[in-house]
Structure 1
Amino acid sequence: MTEHARPVTRAWVIHPEIPSADTDRDPALALEEAVALAHALPDLEVVGAQVARLRKPDAGKLFGKGKLEELRLAIEGAEVDLVLVDGPVTPVQQRNLEKAWDVKVLDRTGLILEIFSDRAATREGVLQVEMAALSYQRTRLVRAWTHLERQRGGLGFVGGPGETQIEADRRAIDEQLVRLRRQLEKVVKTRTLHRAARAKVPFPIVALVGYTNAGKSTLFNRLTGAEVMAKDMLFATLDPTMRRIKLPGGGPEVILSDTVGFISDLPTELVASFRATLEEVLAADLICHVRDISHPETAAQAEDVTTILNSLGVKDTTPQIEIWNKIDRLDDDARAATLTTAARLDHVQALSAISGEGIDGLIDAITTALADVTHVTTLHLGFNEGRRRAWLFEKDLVEAETQTEDGFDLTLRWSARQEAQFKDL
């Protein structure tokens, strides 16, 4: 065992099923996703998982007396160290459950924060996780305040050097948030400069988005040859990864961006903190929405992704391709039906990022979509506008040019982004 390794924590996952008009999701599938979330932390061993039906949540302990005792016996029998409740748990409920079961309790937000903390690789990612953790921490009146002592990733909710409960000093948290926000602003400013530098070499940006574990990173690796971590694991990618690639078959040069996976009920703290991580999507000329078409709730997952894209302010005018990934996981009949449906829909490409089947069709679709992004304009420049004319030639935007008595008539093919850059010269 390395000196930084943390001991394995035995975990029990509970998905509280609360009858609600808001959701018609299958509780068994919700539990499956919660277990997959738990598996995303290397230090957790899931020793049990169950759906717990509730007529209505108990304000103090979430579960009623009978259910609480039934769960206590199961948890005790399995020698569990940590209970993961797949849903929101108030600070009062958390304290009461920890007292009743004599184990650490973590809700869905706390677990996702742990995963994000464990995976964040860039300075920006680390700062965003810490801000999200502090915002979450601020809502807890009494918490295990150990994350500053951690040896490596992880926020100290799971394991960590101690479990002392300390009253969180809200002023200290607010001061820390202000410090982190300043640091993050500097990092974001640097990224803005990088983006401005990229804009000078105006390759179109193609952003891969999708529900977590839809296969974005596998597809990214297939298209770029990059070794981005691509495991069958939720939230395998947390920091946007950018690669400049030349699309095969005479396709254009593009910047391909792999982004963090979306998930239903993403904690509000994280949506706010990770907005900058998803800025690349806002700058994209084309969005490729990757779906795991083999998942029983693929339609609901796609809806979640669309909701988050809308909340980020992605414009309706940004072209999108929907990628139905993992056709290799479908049985013959479902596969044939999926391929037939996809072939009838202009904006859909069905493929397998693992086997490579359908990749050529996707590349053609990206090439066509990016051609649609550009438009032809005629423009007259005077002889005194040599610098602007040189810029157009440097960017390879001029399709034809005629000299006139007072300057040049140019035919240009460019994107709206390039046109805006030209106007700023």
Structure 2
Amino acid sequence: MHTCFSLMHRLRTVFNAVYAQRFSARKPLSSFPSDEQIADFIEDDEYQKIKKNLTGLQSDYHHFTRKAFVIQPRVKWGPQRDDRINYSLLLRETIALVETLPNWKVNASLTMSTTSLNRKGIFGKGNLEKLYECINQQEVNALVFSVDILSSAQQTFLEQRFSLPVFDRYSIVLQIFNDHAKTKEAKLQIALAEIPYIRSKLRDFHMHGAQKESQFMQAIGGSKQRLLEERKKILRNRESKLKKMLENVSRNRDFLKVARIKKEIPSVAVVGYTNAGKTSLIKALTRDESLQPKDQLFATLDVTTHSGRLPCGQQTLFIDTVGFVSHIPIALIHAFHATLKDALTSDLVVHVYDVSHPDVDNQRETVHHTLKSFELSDKLMGSIIEVANKIDCVPESDLKTSENEMPVSAAKGINIEPLKERIEQRLLANTNRTLREVRVPMGGEQSQWLWKEATVVGVRADPNDENFALMEVLFTNASFARFKSRFRYDE
């Protein structure tokens, strides 16, 4: 028996190596722009002037040392009041976002009440005066308002009132994305994610103070209306070119996906709130030592794929995805649709969350809301595996999980094997894979085909005839139909 399994392992290794080499040798068609072309396009001077003028965002932001004051508005009364929001936790998260940026430090923070986030100055006259006094007592050179997005009129008013650059959560996340973007895909998608943000500022263009626009209008000549139309045209053209560039990403990924489907390799998308431990979990599941998880917000921007095996021996691809975050428009995450699309049309979704986080319930709700916005199939939504990560950071007496949740510690390797078994169960069901025992001639063409085209789980000699082998094989419906047709196999 031991000899049979040893032989099975060696044969599997050889087949995997051969076909991995053949698969990797096939190059997808590509007319993808070079790094230099992308850099030149993204850094276009005309666009960068608009970006800086309307939003304060700069491509060289990391060269500046920022000492930030973070202000958390708390809607205490009125229709915008939401008792589900824990403002102290939201403030803490915004501080963490700010300090993710290189050379940025939060020197002060506070929470202040308001009746509406739509007010021009966010706060009433009295609270604005108090805020002015607080700011003057601190050594700061930037203000960050912990709201998803400020209107252009609000930003202009606040910058003029406090004589400091003003940022919102969307702009901070955009700058983090810019800092962490390494690949062509990520850089293009971030450039695309800026467009709706800048366009939202442009919508209330006529509310801008004349001071802010005078120099720019003099440079191009004409009226505010002409300036508005010029900017709209620049944004439209840029958006169109970015989308065309990203179509190449989709074509490349579609090519690889077709090859993967042809080989019938199932895939598992691992999703979750930023810094929930997605990369750590994939490393634990695949034992891929090249993965280097970071305790950092938005450490992963590119959708990456890592090969692993289920307990039954089935090769499976685990897909790492960009993290989600609350209180920013979903349009920011949707800008990554080209790469997320491949992940979210996988065979199974694993949702990992940080069970030790004090705002874990809202984080989970954010992820589920975002997934629904991508219109996942009913099969995927109904089979999501919920993984409560970082249980090593929670006292055992405080840990509460339901039957539908898998408590694990990716960093410590706790409960990883039971999680693999649950992934196997759901994945085999979603992909209509069935474990069958087939009787074939020992070392013949049939057994070679099975090693190549299906997943061989076990091999043993037929006790009634040593010239035959009994092979436990994981088939898809399609692969079993091909096997029966080719070899006229009769069950």
* TM-score, normalised by the number of residues in structure 1: 0.79
**What is the aligned partner in structure 2 of residue 241 from structure 1?**
304
C-alpha deviation, 1:324, in angstroms: 0.6
**What is the aligned partner in structure 1 of residue 126 from structure 2?**
66
- d(CA) in 1 for partners of 2:298, 2:111: 23
Q: How many residues align?
A: 370
Secondary structure of the 2:379 match is coil
5+ residue gaps, structure 2: 1-59, 205-214, 218-226, 437-447, 458-472, 484-491
**What is the aligned partner in structure 2 of residue 262 from structure 1?**
324
Asked if 1 retains the 8 angstrom alpha-carbon contact of 2:74 and 2:87, the reply is yes
C-alpha deviation, 1:356, in angstroms: 1.1
C-alpha deviation, 1:142, in angstroms: 10
Q: Which amino acid aligns with 1:371?
A: L
**What is the aligned partner in structure 1 of residue 180 from structure 2?**
119
**What is the aligned partner in structure 2 of residue 383 from structure 1?**
none
1:151-187 Cα shifts (integer Å, max 9, x gaps): xxxxxxxxxxxxx878672211211111111111122
**What is the aligned partner in structure 2 of residue 305 from structure 1?**
367
C-alpha deviation, 1:233, in angstroms: 2.1
Deviating runs (4+, > 4 A) in structure 1?
164-168, 375-378, 390-394, 412-422
**What is the aligned partner in structure 1 of residue 454 from structure 2?**
396
Asked if 2 retains the 8 angstrom alpha-carbon contact of 1:16 and 1:54, the reply is yes
Q: Which amino acid aligns with 1:184?
A: L
Give the alignment partner of residue 107 of structure 1, picking from 143, 147, 168. Answer: 168
Does residue 325 of the first structure (1) align with residue 325 of the second (2)? no
Q: Which amino acid aligns with 1:237?
A: T
C-alpha deviation, 1:94, in angstroms: 0.2
- d(CA) in 2 for partners of 1:195, 1:421: 21
- d(CA) in 1 for partners of 2:348, 2:331: 27
Give the alignment partner of residue 235 of structure 2, picking from 164, 167, 173. Answer: 173
1:172-223 Cα shifts (integer Å, max 9, x gaps): 1211111111111122211111211222222110111111111112212223
C-alpha deviation, 1:26, in angstroms: 1.2
Does residue 81 of the first structure (1) align with residue 145 of the second (2)? no
Asked if 1 retains the 8 angstrom alpha-carbon contact of 2:330 and 2:370, the reply is no
Q: Which moved more, 1:75-84 or 1:53-62?
A: 53-62
**What is the aligned partner in structure 2 of residue 159 from structure 1?**
none
Secondary structure of the 1:25 match is coil
Written as runs of structure 1 = structure 2, the 5 A alignment for 1:211-226 is 211-224=273-286, 225-226=288-289
C-alpha deviation, 1:292, in angstroms: 0.9
- d(CA) in 2 for partners of 1:216, 1:421: 37
- d(CA) in 1 for partners of 2:234, 2:61: 28
Q: Which amino acid aligns with 1:330?
A: V
Secondary structure of the 1:49 match is strand
Tell which has more relative contact order, 1 or 2 (C-alpha 8 A, sep 6+): 2
Q: Which amino acid aligns with 2:232?
A: R
Give the alignment partner of residue 349 of structure 1, picking from 395, 398, 406. Answer: 406
Asked if 1 retains the 8 angstrom alpha-carbon contact of 2:71 and 2:109, the reply is yes
Asked if 2 retains the 8 angstrom alpha-carbon contact of 1:207 and 1:284, the reply is yes
Q: Pairwise CA RMSD of aligned residues?
A: 3.1
C-alpha deviation, 1:300, in angstroms: 2.0
**What is the aligned partner in structure 2 of residue 232 from structure 1?**
295
C-alpha deviation, 1:391, in angstroms: 9.1
Q: Which amino acid aligns with 1:131?
A: L
C-alpha deviation, 1:231, in angstroms: 2.3
Q: Which amino acid aligns with 1:236?
A: A
**What is the aligned partner in structure 1 of residue 105 from structure 2?**
45
Secondary structure of the 1:244 match is strand
C-alpha deviation, 1:273, in angstroms: 1.1
5+ residue gaps, structure 1: 144-163, 379-389, 400-411
C-alpha deviation, 1:83, in angstroms: 0.9
Asked if 2 retains the 8 angstrom alpha-carbon contact of 1:251 and 1:367, the reply is no
Which is higher, the Rg of structure 1 or of structure 2?
2
Report the CA distance shift for 1:263/1:43 in structure 2 as closer, same or farther (over 3 A).
Answer: same
**What is the aligned partner in structure 2 of residue 406 from structure 1?**
none
1:70-94 Cα shifts (integer Å, max 9, x gaps): 2222223222121111112110010
- d(CA) in 2 for partners of 1:91, 1:323: 40
Does residue 184 of the first structure (1) align with residue 242 of the second (2)? no
C-alpha deviation, 1:21, in angstroms: 4.7
Q: Which amino acid aligns with 1:395?
A: E
Report the CA distance shift for 1:76/1:414 in structure 2 as closer, same or farther (over 3 A).
Answer: farther
- d(CA) in 2 for partners of 1:29, 1:416: 49
Q: Which amino acid aligns with 2:392?
A: D
Report the CA distance shift for 1:283/1:391 in structure 2 as closer, same or farther (over 3 A).
Answer: farther
Secondary structure of the 1:56 match is coil
* TM-score, normalised by the number of residues in structure 2: 0.69
1:363-394 Cα shifts (integer Å, max 9, x gaps): 2222222232324599xxxxxxxxxxx99985
Q: Give the share of equivalent positions with the same residue, in percent.
A: 33
